[in-house]
Amino acid sequence: MTDPLSILQQLIAIPSVNPMGRELSGPDFYETRLSDFLVDFFRELGVPCERLEVVAGRANVLARYDGPAAGPTLVLDAHQDTVPVDGMVIPPFTPEIRDGRIYGRGACDIKGGMAAMLAAFARLVRERPAGSASVVMSCTCDEEATQLGVHDLIRRWREAPETTQILPVAPTAAVVAEPTDLNVVVAHRGASRWKIRTTGKACHSSDPSRGENAIYKMARILSCLEEYAAKLPTLVPAHPLCGQATLSVGLVAGGVSVNTVPAECTIEIDRRVVPGEDGMAAIRAVGDYVRERVDVDFEMLPPWIIGTTLSDEHNGPLADRVLETVAEVAGPREKVGVPYGTHASRFDDAGVPSIVFGPGSISKAHTVDEWLPIDELHLATDVYYRLAATSAEWLAKT
């Protein structure tokens, strides 16, 4: 149970695909089977474990190791879900080892990091080093879409501590697994996502003048949004570690058939906010910009995720501690900022110092031939273990 490669092979072989809003079902989708595996893993270790349902059929799985001195708690967090497998050129759920790499969906994002954390956690339980902190292993659901899992995790310790015995109060610090090339991510952007809808009047396409084309209306809005995206660098100062704020339209949907003038059109917008920005204010600013420039009625639908960023304002001591540990194992690394978002922003927003660290490169996440360097898997395992095994006294002083 302490071999991360063996654990990772098992994790890859268990599909846990997030449909990303599509109406899909079946054994390959959602986290149920992986949650089953995790519960069995922790029960075999003999540690307290909880399976906490977030929405029907989707759960967070938590386990707790109490260090010899009890005291402060370190959270190790890794999400259970992966992105879809459409277009992959390798068997997504058949882990293949070759040329020092392991291939498969989730190998890099983030079942590799989860395997390293699970192996380190199991070693802590078996060896019980004298200086170890108490550790909660948090395996959360739905990170790739709406982050339901981490929201529920935090809600319980804030609003309903009686519903969990594993984490009824806020932890002292959190380390979130994502592919970081063994660097320590101390800052990242956040994503606000929402839809804009235009409406019109349907009619037969043989006489479009009898209708009102919702797609034509949306085309004017899209042109305005392209203009706004190009101006963003002048409207929002870049963050020194995370770069520029961005806006992108990723999905357009409208109409029912080619011979019917469309009565409705919707688009989905991704607005990446940088530390210092407010995710909801960023959404309102987009709406205001379009309304001032386009004479078209449209509706801003409620966002399903509001950008929360990870700031390097509060996590410096934790990052330094992790960097010291990494240097012992893998040589010098550095503090970095990244453009993508993670659960660390949610922990940080809840007042918990948090960093992101894990094996692999973000450039290999979500790819058609996703893979992870096996040497980094073992190095990350050692870092997680050493960090937890030596941090009881340090965390008590933070």
- Write out pLDDT tens, residues 297-313: 999 999 999 999 999 99
Q: Residue 118: beta bridge partners?
A: none
pLDDT tens for residues 204-226?
Answer: 999 999 999 999 999 999 999 99
Task: Using alpha carbons, list the distances in angstroms from residue 106 to 2, 19, 70, 110, 144.
Answer: 19, 14, 33, 5, 12
Residue 63's contacts (CB-CB under 8 Å, 6 or more residues apart) are: 38, 42, 45, 47, 48, 49, 50, 121, 136, 137, 166
Per residue in 330-341, pLDDT (tens digit) is: 999 999 999 999
Question: With bands split at pLDDT 50, 70 and 90, how would you rate the model's confidence at 257?
Answer: very high
Q: Are 62 and 78 in contact (CB under 8 A)?
A: no
CA separation for the pair 387, 355 (Å, rounded): 13
Bridge-based pairing state of the strands 134-140 and 73-79: parallel
Model pLDDT, residue 336? 98
Q: Which stretch of 109-113, 144-148, 154-158, 324-328 has the lowest confidence by average pLDDT? A: 144-148
The DSSP letter of residue 323 is: H
- Please check the confidence at residue 24 and state whether its pLDDT lies above 90: no
Token pair recorded at residue 309 = 């960023």
Q: Do domains 4-188+309-396 and 191-307 have the same CATH topology?
A: no
Q: Centre a 10 Å sphere on the Cβ of residue 55 and count the other Cβ atoms it contains.
A: 13
Q: Could you tell me if 24 and 83 are in contact, meaning their C-beta atoms sit under 8 angstroms apart?
A: no
Amino acid in the structure at residue 309 = T
**Residue that has been written with the tokens 């040497």 in this structure:** 375
Report pLDDT digits (tens) over 139-176.
Answer: 999 999 899 999 999 999 999 999 999 999 999 999 99
Task: Write down the CATH number for the domain with range 191-307.
Answer: 3.30.70.360
Between the alpha carbon of residue 179 and those of residues 58, 125, 365, the distances in Å are: 24, 25, 8
Report how far apart, in Å, the C-alpha atoms of 220 and of each of 210, 217, 224, 248, 254 are. 20, 6, 6, 15, 14
146 neighbors 194 (Cβ within 8 angstroms): no
- Virtual CA dihedral for 342, 334, 352, 66, nearest 10 degrees? 100
Per-domain residue ranges of the chain: 4-188+309-396, 191-307
Give 193's strand partners: 270, 305
| CA atoms of 295 and 299, how far apart (whole Å) | 13
- Residue 84 contacts residue 91 (beta carbons within 8 Å): no
H helix runs in the chain, sequence order: 4-12, 32-45, 111-127, 148-159, 214-235, 279-293, 316-330, 344-349, 374-389, 392-397
Buried b (16+ CB within 10 A) or exposed e, 261-295: bbbbbbbbbbbbbbbebbbeebbebbeebbeeebe
The pTM score is: 0.93
Can you identify the CATH homologous superfamily of domain 4-188+309-396? Zn peptidases (3.40.630.10)
CB atoms within 10 A of CB 251: 11
